[in-house]
Amino acid sequence: MKKTVIGKRLTMFSVVMPAVILVFFLTITGRAEEKPGAPVPGNHSQASPQAVPQPTASPQPANQPNVSKPLSATPQQTDNANAADAGKETRFGIPKFFTTKPPLTPGIFPCSQCHAAMTPNKQRRELGFHQDVVLNHATKQRWCLDCHDANDRDKLKLANGDLIPFTESYFLCGQCHGNIFRDWKTGIHGKRIGYWNGEKQYYLCVNCHNQHSPKFQPLKPLPMPARPHSGDVVKGTTSVDIEGKKIYIPVYK
């Protein structure tokens, strides 16, 4: 008698519980569906705008990004004179803030000082002058006069024959390195110094890369950190100068 009662209860339990669980889950999922914009914890999908953390206590919620809004070039970021043609095809034009100068060899520019009196020799050859220039940049398909204009040596020549000044050499580089050029304009490629929310210096391609041999040369690393439990191993400090900035490095015993 007793056994059958328990048996009945168990049967009822086994029938009722899944139903309860089902209802519970439906309620939860129903709730989740009501809030489609709710962030899913743990879902940090790569490169997704949702991955940008929202401020928990932002004083100005109106400033939060509207991710669906198409990005447009802000007038502050484009130089209208230069970007007229470049800006059309991309979201961003040439950044306005760079003030860096191309590293022209002192005393050698303008090139017309010497070249005005010379007749252009378009023959590919070992140069008698400019021996410091080592071309290691797609040498098979390139020679001096592909980039330097044969008739106006103070200018660079684009593939379409347009002449550009040395200060705008990025147009020349951008002919082949289009994706890098695009990243450089947005600030992803290259180096910026100055103020993150104000005027900044934007390095030109040629400030970091040697245009004739653009691959970076290996560098000597600065000292490694002191090993733990190594006692008092730092003898003192010394300074090194990096791009005009003095930084202090340890000297180990």
Partner 1 sequence: MDRRDFLKGAAIGMAAIAIPPVNASASYLETFFQKYYREMTPEDKKKVVERLEKEYREKYHKDIRVKTTEAIPGVLYGYGLDLSRCIGCRRCVYACVTENNLSRSNPQIQYITVLQFKNGEKWVTDLEESEKYYNPETVPAPDHFYMPVQCQQCEDPPCVRVCPTQATYKAEDGIVVVDYNWCIGCRYCMAACPYGARKFNWGEWNVPTDQINTNTHYLGNRPKIKGSVEKCTFCIQRVREVPGRYTACVEICPVGARKFGNLLDPASEIRLLIETKRVFRLKEELNTNPKFYYFFSL
The least distance separating partner 1 from the CB of residue 96, rounded to whole angstroms, comes to 13
> Which residues sit opposite 163 in a β-bridge?
157
- For residue 187, state whether it binds partner 1 (rule: CB under 8 A): yes
Residue 181 parent element (H or E): helix 178-186
Choose the binding region for partner 1 from 121-129, 138-146, 162-170, 237-245 (rule: CB under 8 A).
237-245
- For residue 38, state whether it binds partner 1 (rule: CB under 8 A): no
Identity of residue 222: L
Tell me how far apart the alpha carbons of residues 118 and 121 are, in angstroms, rounded to a whole number. Answer: 9
- For residue 18, state whether it binds partner 1 (rule: CB under 8 A): no
CB of 167 within 8 A of CB of 104? no
Choose the binding region for partner 1 from 45-53, 80-88, 126-134, 170-178 (rule: CB under 8 A).
45-53
Residue from 69, 122, 125, 215 touching partner 1 (CB under 8 A): that is: 69
For residue 247, the SS3 value is strand
The least distance separating partner 1 from the CB of residue 44, rounded to whole angstroms, comes to 5
Q: Residue 226's CB: how many other CB atoms inside 10 A?
A: 13
Closest-CA residue to 173 (of 92, 182, 73, 103): 182
Identity of residue 223: P
- Interface residues toward partner 1, by CB under 8 A: 41-42, 44, 46-47, 49, 51-53, 55-60, 63-67, 69, 71, 73-74, 77, 183, 186-200, 203, 208, 216, 218-227, 232-234, 237, 240, 242-243, 245-250
